[in-house]
Amino acid sequence: MEAWWRNSIGYIIYPASFKDSNGDGYGDLGGIVEKLDYLRELGVDLLWICPIFKTPMHDSGYDVSDYYHVDPRFGTDEDLSKLLHEAHLRGIRVLLDLTMNHTSDLHPWFMKAKADINSKEAGYYIIKKGRWADGKLLPPNNWGSFFSTSAWERMPGTDDSFYLHVFSPAMPDTNWENPELRNEYFKIARHYVEMGVDGFRLDAISHLAKDPSYADSPLPAGKEGYVLDPDRFSNRPEILSYLREFREKGVDENTLLVGEFGGSLQPGEARLYSDRGRGPVNLVFNFDTVWNNGAYGSIDKRDDEIRTDVISLKNNFMRWYPNAATSDMPLYWCNHDHPRVLSQYGSVEYRSESAKMLFTTLLFLYGTPFIHYGDEIGMSNVTYSKIEDFLFDDANRDSLKELRAAGYDDETILRFWRRANRINARTPMQWNRHENAGFSHAKPWVKVNDNYREGVNVQEEMEDPYSILNYFQYAISFRKSATYNDIVNNGRLEIVDYNHPDVFAYLHRGSSTIMCISNFRPYQVYFTFNYELADIVLHNYDGVLLSNHVFTLRPFECYLLKIR
Ligand code: NOJ
C-alpha cells in the first residue's frame, strides 16, 4: 500500500491565530472546524496543528502541563473529537504536535520532582549537581539554551542541583534514558491514535538525547559563563532507538510521524530515520531551505545585505533530493518559527507575483508540501512599531534582555525582529476586511497585520479570479492529479542552469516532462530556454516574453510548462 501522505497537501495551523469561535481573542478548535470547508476547497487534506494541550503558554503551548487534555483556550477534549470527526468526513487528516523533549515546569511530573528529589518523577528529568568555584555554586557545565539563557536552572528543593532545559527554564528537559518516562509518552501517543488522530509532528526530536559526558562545550563561553552549542544535545545516535521504540510501542505503520530535526542533521543521517519500511519516522523536516537570505541573526546587517541566495537554495533542496529515492520527503518554505516566506524570498511590492512564484516552485519539486496558514493569501511580516508588540513569549523576552545588554537600541532590535522574528508567522489569519480581519470579535491576543484592509484577506481574494488564493487552489488541483503526483513523486528531477544567480528552474521527467522556471528577483532577468514548449500549465503574468530561445522574466515571474 502506498503511504497516504505521499499524495497529501499539508497545511500548518498555529491554532491561537487561526480562528476564534468563542470571542475571547484566541483561536480555537471550534474555529478550525468552522474553516474545514475552506481548507477542503483549497485542496488541503493534511493538517499539522501546533500544540493544543494544557499549557501555561511560556512557549505558545510547546510547554505542556497536561498531555491528556486540551487547553481551555483552545476548547475542550470534545472539541478535539469533533474536529477529528468533521475533518475525516471531509477527507482531511490531522496531525497533533507532540512535545516530548520537555514538559512545562507546571506539569505534575515536575511538580512531584520538585517536591521530592527521590521520587520516580525526579527520574523523568535531567538533574545534575552543580560545580563549586571560589565558594560559588555554578551550573554543571557551560551549556547555553536556545532561549538566550544558561541551559541549567537551580532545582528547587535541593542544595546543589540543577535541571537541564535546552529551551526556556519553564520547560525542563525530559530524561529519555529512563524507560518509564518513555512509556509515558508511548501511552500518550496511543491515547490520541485511539481517539482518531492520524499522526504527530514530533517537536524538537533531535534533542531527545544529550552528550552523556555532560562535559563543557569547547566553544568559548560568554561573560555569563555559557554558550549555545547545539552539538551537545542534537542528533545523537540514541534517538534512533528511542524512535523505533516509539513506533513499536506507541503507534502503528499508518500513523504519520513527522520529525522536527534541527539544523545540523545531514541527509545521510536522516535516511536512518526515514527509510521507507525501516526508519521509524516518515517525514524528516530540516531547516536548510529557510534562511537562505542572510536574515537569521541579522541584527548587524543593513537591509540591502538581505538578499536571497538562489544558488544556495537550489543546493539545499538538491542535497536532500537523493533521499527521495528511499524516503518520503516533506517540503515547506516556513513554519511558525520563521519569518513569512513572502517577506523572506518574495516581496510585499510584488505580493501577488512572488507568492504565486514561491508556491509553484515548491509544489512541483518533490515530496509532500506544507503550506503555512495564510501563505495562500500572501500574508507577510509584521510592521509593528513597538517592542511590546513582540513580547509574547519567553524566547522574545529573554532575547530582548540579551540584545539590550549587548548594547543594541530598540530601533535596531525592532528592525531586526520585523525581519527575522517568529511572531511574523504567528499573526491572526486574515479572513475578511472587517474588524480584526474577521479572526475574532474580541481584541486578538496578538496584533493583526494591518494589510488585511488592503485586500490581503480570504474573502476579497475569493472574489478575485486572479488572486493568490485562487492561484493556489488551481495549482494544487494540478499537483494532486494522478499524472502530476506521479511525475513529482516518481519522475527524475534536474535543475536547469544551476549557476543562474536569479532563476530557480527545474525539470521533471515522468510520463510527460514538466518544467518550472521562477525568477526570484524584483527586477527583470533573462533565462535561456532550449526546449520545445508544449503547454503553459501555470503562469503568474499575462503574455509570454519568449524570443530566440530566451525568456524575459519580469519581477518574480514564474511558469510551469509542459515540454516535449
Ligand atoms: C520547536 C517549535 O517549533 C518551537 O516553536 C518551540 O519553541 C521549540 N521547538 C521548543 O518546543
Per-residue pLDDT at 180? 98
Q: Provide the whole-model pTM.
A: 0.97
Q: What domains are there in the chain, each with its CATH number?
A: 4-102+179-210+231-469 (3.20.20.80), 108-164 (3.90.400.10), 492-563 (2.60.40.1180)
| 260 Cα nearest atom in ligand 1 | 1
Helix, strand, coil in percent for the chain, rounding step 5: 35, 20, 45
Query: Looking at residue 519, what is its pLDDT?
Result: 99
Q: DSSP character for 449?
A: P
398-430 tens-digit pLDDT:
899 999 999 999 999 999 999 999 999 999 999
pLDDT at 460 over 90: yes
Q: Is 398 in the pocket of ligand 1 (CB under 6 A)?
A: no
Taking residues 476-502, report their average pLDDT: 96
Tens digits of per-residue pLDDT, 186-234? 999 999 999 999 999 999 999 999 999 999 999 999 999 999 999 999 9
For the CA of 63, the nearest atom of ligand 1: 11
Distance CA 381, CA 343 (A): 6
Q: How far is CA 18 from the centre of its chain?
A: 15
Cβ(267)–Cβ(260) under 8 Å? Answer: no
CA of 488 to the centre of ligand 1 (A): 30
Strand locations in 161-255 (E) = 161-164, 199-203
Residue nearest to atom 2 of ligand 1 (CA): 203
Mean pLDDT of 148-160: 94
* pLDDT at position 145 over 70: yes
Question: Of 50, 99, 171, 394, which is best to mutate to test ligand 1, by the most ligand atoms within 8 angstroms of its C-beta?
Answer: 99
pLDDT, residue 262, reads 77
Distance CA 110, CA 70 (A): 19
% of the chain at pLDDT higher than 90:
97
The owner of cell 505558545 is 60
Nearest alpha-carbon partner for 124 in 113, 115, 114, 116: 113
Position of cell 487534555? 69
Question: Which residues are CB-contacts of 534 (< 8 A; sequence separation ≥ 6)?
Answer: 512, 561, 562, 563, 564
Looking at the predicted structure, is the pLDDT value of residue 36 above 80? yes
| pLDDT tens per residue across span 350-399 | 999 999 999 999 999 999 999 999 999 999 999 999 999 999 888 899 89
- Residue 171: name the closest of 86, 65, 253, 71 by CA: 65
Distance CA 165, CA 551 (A): 53
Between CA 105 and CA 157 the distance in angstroms is 14
Q: How far apart are CA 169 and CA 105, in angstroms?
A: 8
- Output the CA 394–ligand 1 centroid distance in Å: 12
Beta-strand ranges (E) seen in 193-296 are 199-203, 256-260, 283-285
In three-state secondary structure terms, 279 is coil
What per-residue confidence (pLDDT) applies to 137? 96
Determine the Cα–Cα distance for residues 204 and 323; give it in Å rounded to an integer: 21
- Mutate which of 50, 59, 60 for ligand 1 pocket (most atoms within 8 A of beta carbon): 59
Residues in CB range of 352: below 8 A, 6 or more apart = 378, 466, 467, 468, 540
Contact status, residue 86 vs residue 131, Cβ threshold 8 Å: no
Which pLDDT score, from 0 to 100, does residue 277 have?
A: 84
What's the average model confidence in pLDDT over 239-243? 97
Instruction: For residues 16 and 14, give the distance between their C-alpha atoms in angstroms, rounded to a whole number.
Output: 6
Question: For residue range 84-113, what is the model confidence (pLDDT) as tens digits?
Answer: 999 999 999 999 999 999 999 999 999 999
As a whole number, mean pLDDT of residues 496-523 equals 97
Mean pLDDT of the chain: 96
Is the CB of residue 460 below 6 angstroms from any atom belonging to ligand 1?
no
Among 62, 372, 426, which is best to mutate for testing ligand 1, by the most ligand atoms less than 8 A from CB? 62
Does 1 score more than 90 pLDDT?
no
| CB of 285 closer than 6 angstroms to any ligand 1 atom | no
Task: Read off the pLDDT of each residue in 457-462 and give the average, rounded to a whole number.
Answer: 98
| Cβ 62 under 6 angstroms from ligand 1 | yes
Comparing CA positions, the residue from 2, 5, 4 lying closest to residue 283 is 5
With a 6 A CB cut-off, is 337 part of the ligand 1 pocket? Answer: yes
CB 438 within 8 A of CB 444: no
* Of 215, 214, 235, 217, nearest in space to 226 by CA: 217
Task: Using the predicted structure, report yes or no on whether residue 158 has a pLDDT greater than 70.
Answer: yes
Active site residues: 203, 260
Strands 550-553 and 525-528: antiparallel
Instruction: For the chain, report the end-to-end CA distance as a whole number of angstroms.
Output: 32
Query: How, if at all, do strands 131-133 and 136-138 pair?
Result: antiparallel
The sign of the CA dihedral 26, 28, 30, 34 is positive
> Residue 99: CB within 6 Å of ligand 1?
yes
Three-state secondary structure of 91-107: CCEEEEEEECCECCCCC
Task: Give the position, in ligand 1's atom list, of the atom nearest the Cα of 167.
Answer: 10
Minimal-distance CA residue to ligand 1 atom 3: 337
